[in-house]
Amino acid sequence: MMRWQEVEIVKLHWRHEVCQADIAGIRQLTAGTGVFSAEEIQVAGELVESRLQHGESSGYYFLLATSDDRIIAYTCYGNIPFTDRRYDLYWIAVDRDFQKHGLGRDVLKRTEQLIQAAGGLRVYAETSGRAQYASTHQFYERNGYQKIAELDDFYKSGDSKIIYCKFL
């Protein structure tokens, strides 16, 4: 299997701090995946806005992979309030052109390392049970996450919420 580095000669830059331009960049990235709803895309940008307005007290942390000033992958994560070293993986998205080549696995692994370095012991990821998320479910499972719960008709009738967990 080809890795993302072999897709073409791509120089990635990794960063943790977000800037104003990332609001539109993350919305463009999430929209371009073809998976997320308009409301989800809006929220992805709002989390960047919250981080810019409130800094670390927002509770949102980011890891962005950029190439030529374009965001091609990112995660948003944070410590779950009132828990002992448990973290939520709020978002993970990879540009369509870079999917299926290992970049998602790379950005997830780097995010897990950041969480572990901050003292995190577990990571939780929630996703929809809709058919278009089947590859997302497989992605989490291939990367060591276990499905720990499924809440039927959570988002709406016929759309469950699936919760995955990984012990770090």
- pLDDT value at residue 139: 97
24-56 tens-digit pLDDT:
999 999 999 998 999 999 999 999 999 999 999
- pLDDT value at residue 2: 47
Helices (H), the chain: 21-32, 38-54, 103-117, 134-142
104-113 tens-digit pLDDT:
999 999 999 9
Residue 1 has pLDDT above 50, yes or no: no
Closest CA to 92 of 44, 38, 132: 44
Task: For residues 74 and 93, give the distance between their C-alpha atoms in angstroms, rounded to a whole number.
Answer: 6
Instruction: Name the phi and psi angles at 59, rounded to 5.
Output: 85, 0
Q: What pTM value is reported for the model?
A: 0.91
Q: What is the mean pLDDT of residues 142-147?
A: 98
Please check whether residue 79 is in contact with residue 115, taking contact to mean a CB–CB distance below 8 angstroms: no
Provide the residue range defining the domain that includes 70.
Answer: 4-167
How many domains, in total, are found in the chain? 1
Across all residues in the chain, what is the average pLDDT?
A: 94
Task: For residues 77 and 106, give the distance between their C-alpha atoms in angstroms, rounded to a whole number.
Answer: 15
Which sign does the torsion angle of CA 55, 30, 122, 144 carry?
negative
71-87 tens-digit pLDDT:
999 999 999 999 999 99
* CATH assignment of the domain containing 97: 3.40.630.30
